[in-house]
Amino acid sequence: MDKLYLLYPERRGRIAPEIYGHFTEHIGGVFYGGMWVGPDSDVPNVKGFRRDVVEAFRAIRPPVLRWPGGCFAETYDWRDGIGPDRPTRINWWRNEDGRYEPNAVGTHEFIDLCRAVGAKPYFAANVTSVPPLHIRDWMDYCLSPRGSTTLAREREANGSPEPFDVPFWGVGNENWGGGGNMTPEHYADVFRTCALLMRNAAPKGRVKLFACGTSGDEYEWARGVAAGLFRSERQADGFAMHYYCGSAGDPLAFTDDEWDRQIAQAARIEDMIRRNYAVMVGYGLEERMPMVVDEWGCWHPAGSGPSKGKNLFEQQSTMRDAVVAALTLNIFNRHCDKVIMANVAQLTNLLHSLFLCGPDGFACTPTYHVFDMYQRHQGAESVGSVCENGDLSVSVSVHGGRTLITAANTSVRADAEIGLCPCGRPLPETGELVLLSHADPHAHNTFAEPDKVRPVRSAVNPRRPLTVPRASVAAISF
C-alpha cells in the first residue's frame, strides 16, 4: 500500500472556478448539427439550444464559456450575428468541412445559452481582419446601459434592453498562426492599440483583457509579448496559452504503450505552465498576466464520433480521455497560484468534448463525468499533497470544512492502493467515494449505450486503504 499525505498546513491558494471553463467555436458540429436546433425545432430546446445539453451542462456548474473561436474569431464580424436579417458568410473552416456560416447563433443567442447554464461569457475579439474601433463598438453594443448610446438602443431594438455582462475578452486568438501570422513584437503593438480602445469602452474594472499566449512550448512568443507589454500602462489581465496533447494511436483501438504515450503528452502541460509563468515573473508581470489556458485537450484523428466524419474533428471520448482530463484538472488545481482560467476544447462533438449530440441522439462523454466529479474544487482552497505512487495524479482542496481528493490512476496496467495520511487534522470514519471506471479502458458512451461509462457512488471509511483501479478516476470526500 502506498501513502497519500494530505498536507493541510500547506495552502496553495484559491482554485478559481474559471479553471473549469469551456470553449465553443463555430466549427464542425459544435453549434450547427450539434447543440443548436433553433427555437422552432421539434427537438426539445431552450431558446434554440438542445434541452438535454443545457440541462446536463447546467448540472456541472460551468463557470465560463468562451466564444466564437478559435480561429473562427479572426474572421468574425459581430454585426453579422445580430438583428433579423443575417448574412451567410464563408466560415473560416470552409475549406476543411465545406460548410458556410449562417450566423443563426450570434451575440444574443450565445448570451441566452450562458444565462441558461449559469456561465459567464468570454468573447474572443477579432484583431486580425477588423479595426480596433469595430471591437470597441461590439463592447458598446454589449455593455452600455439601456438607452445610453445608439448601439445600446440597437441592442434594445433587437430584444435586450439591459446590457450583457461579458466580463472576459480575448484580444485576438492564436495570432502567432491563423490570427494574422504575427510576430510577438507586432502582436504586442496590436494588443496595446486594441486594449486602449477596449478599456475606454468598458465600465471601469468590469472586464478583463487576455493577451494571446503561446502554443504549447513556444516560449519565444511569451518573451516577445512580455517584452512589448511590461512597460505599457495598458497591460493584459492574463496570458492565454493553448496546449493540445495530440493523439497516440487510434482514438478507440489504442495499445497500452499508446495509452502511456498519451498520458506523457498530456502531463507536459505542467512544465509549460511553469515556464510560461516564469517568463512573466522575469518581466514582473506575474500579478497582471497569470496563465489562462484558453484551449486544451486531446486531438485524435477525426471520424470516430457518431457523425462518422461529417462533423470536422469529431472524435469519441474513452476512459483514456477521461483520465487525461482528470490529470490536467489536477495540474491546474495544484497550480492555482498561476492559472486563473482554463477552457477545455470543445463542448460538443469536437475534440475533447463533454457531449455528443445530433439528429440520432445524445450522450455525455466520460470527460463530462470528470467535470461533474471535480466541481466541488471550484472556489475551494488548494491543499498540498504527496503520493508515494507515481502513477497517481492527485489534487486536494478544502471548502467549508470538507475535503475533496481527486485522483486519476494514469496506469493502464495496475490498480493503486493508497492509505490517507493527514498532516494537520484527523480523518473521520465516514466519507464518500465517486469512482469512474470500466474494465475496458477503451470503453465509451454512444447514442445506443449512453451510460456505458458512468460514475458509481459508495460510502467509504477514509481511515482504511482505498483502491483506485487502473485507468480510472476517483473523487473522495469527507
For residue 107, give every residue at least 6 positions away whose Cβ sits within 8 Å of its Cβ, in sequence order, or none: 78, 81, 82, 138, 141, 142, 164
Distances (CA, A) of 305 to 280, 281, 301, 365: 39, 42, 10, 11
Give the whole-angstrom CA distance, residue 312 versus residue 303.
Answer: 8
Give the whole-angstrom CA distance, residue 86 versus residue 38.
Answer: 14
Burial class (CB in 10 A: 0-12, 13-18, 19+), 162: exposed
Selection from 339, 238, 341 nearest residue 20 by Cα: 341
The residue count of the chain comes to: 478
In three-state form (DSSP H/G/I as H, E/B as E, the rest C), the secondary structure along 413-474 is CCCEEEEEEEECCCCCCCEEEEEECCCCCCCECCCCCCCCCCCEEEEECCCCCEEECCCEEE
Q: What one-character DSSP code corresponds to residue 10? A: E
Burial class (CB in 10 A: 0-12, 13-18, 19+), 257: exposed
Strands (E), 95-207: 100-101, 120-125, 168-171
Give the whole-angstrom CA distance, residue 169 versus residue 466.
Answer: 43
What are the catalytic residues?
174, 295
Give the whole-angstrom CA distance, residue 274 versus residue 311.
Answer: 35
Give the whole-angstrom CA distance, residue 188 versus residue 220.
Answer: 13
